Homo-oligomer: A and B are copies of this chain.
């Protein structure tokens, strides 16, 4: 199936807002095995919108149009869709009633120009929007099925996932049952993950399992999609694949699906009545910021200390050990912070940065330690290159990941691909 995405709106066309909807739609389609062939961006302009709709109706089988469903005069999608299909705009009584109910429940009066949002091209199929007043709809233009969606991401997301993707899968003849499973890892590069997982797709003999990767430095997301006749079929196919991925990526998997590294750490501390103190230098508060603001972290995240200067850090914590950025120094600081905050765990991430201006081979030597109330202190030394911000982000992730490993009884010093030794 040839699919086109048309993003509309002056703010997107002029770059005033970054268009995250395009990538979102494209990724969600990829996740179910559908590929986008063209992306088109046009402004709130009748002539170019009409040309874009007509062209997409000629070259694509399915078109997702994003934006232009609002109540203001520069929202043109319904009007131009009707013109492109050669049909009239008609008041849709069903959507008008939905909108009136929407405003009534919020004790607000519906403005007259909201009525425009219920004017749909004749013969349209409504795509429900439980969150806002923009009415999604589907219709034919030329030889393609068009799906019109709101520009507001939290309205777009459920409409795409719950209403449009099932229709696309049905039209494309693919099995409607598909499942996406995700693994988040840290410490292995994308090509390394790819190599480690070689042959995993073949565990499903009929070729209905597909692997994909997405790198958000410093994490890599591994995605598996499996299609099947029904849920039972999918689960049967997915189980050996999931087991094999867990086995091959092992300790490097930090979370699955919607879980996050910081969420997994917080959850583990909570179930063990644990608590945390964090000491940072160049990461500058970036480690604390990942955990401290989370709901439920109020009593678990006890204390964070940030200092750029080592003498200042030692003074702040009144540590007696030698003032040095070394594993031993990190151990002393982690234990001092843990004890002062009366926490079950103390994490210290010390960094000795290279001198000079930022550059691609600018690096930092990271000495980190995790102290526990059990008296055990783990530490490691690591060197990361790649520029100031790269080193900083890498150190935040390394610190958090080593804490996860400690909490789950995994080796804290396992070598990662990003370090030089």
Contact = CB atoms under 8 A, between A and B. Distances in A.
Interface of A: 7, 13-20, 22-27, 30, 35-43, 45, 48, 52, 214, 278, 280, 282-289, 291-293, 295, 297-299, 301-309, 312, 316, 340-341, 357-358, 388, 392
A357 B309 CA distance: 39
10 contacts: A14-B27, A15-B26, A19-B22, A37-B43, A39-B41, A280-B285, A282-B293, A289-B289, A295-B357, A304-B307
A43 B39 CA distance: 9
Residue with the greatest number of chain B CB neighbours at <10 A, chosen from A22, A288, A291 = A288
Copies, count: 2
B18 A41 contact: no
A67 B52 CA distance: 23
Contacts of A37: 13, 42-43, 45, 48
Contacts of A16: 27, 214
A328 to B, nearest CB: 22
A283 B299 CA distance: 15
Contact of A299 (B278, B295, B301, B309): B309
A218 B291 CA distance: 22
A133 to B, nearest CB: 15
A306 B309 contact: no
B292 A306 contact: yes
The 10 A-B pairs at the shortest CB distance, nearest first, are namely: A285-B285, A39-B41, A284-B292, A15-B23, A285-B288, A304-B306, A15-B26, A15-B27, A284-B293, A285-B289
A13 B39 contact: yes
Contacts of A40: 38-41
Contacts of A22: 15, 19, 41
A182 to B, nearest CB: 14
B42 A38 contact: yes
Contacts of A48: 37-38
Contact of A293 (B24, B30, B41, B388): B388
Contacts of A358: 295
Nearest to A27: B15
A40 B5 CA distance: 10
A293 B390 CA distance: 12
A19 B280 CA distance: 33
Contacts of A292: 282, 284-285, 306, 308
A302 B309 CA distance: 7
Contacts of A287: 285
A35 B299 CA distance: 52
A25 B15 contact: yes
Contact of A305 (B36, B39, B305): B305
A306 B308 contact: no
Contacts of A308: 292, 297-299, 301
Contacts of A13: 26, 36-37, 39
A5 to B, nearest CB: 8
Nearest to A305: B305
A77 B36 CA distance: 20
Contacts of A388: 293, 295
A319 to B, nearest CB: 14
Contacts of A303: 305-307, 312, 316
Given A13-B39, A40-B40, A41-B41, 10 more contacts: A16-B214, A17-B23, A38-B42, A38-B52, A39-B40, A278-B306, A285-B288, A288-B288, A303-B306, A304-B305
A125 B296 CA distance: 60
A163 to B, nearest CB: 19
Contacts of A297: 308
Contacts of A307: 301-304
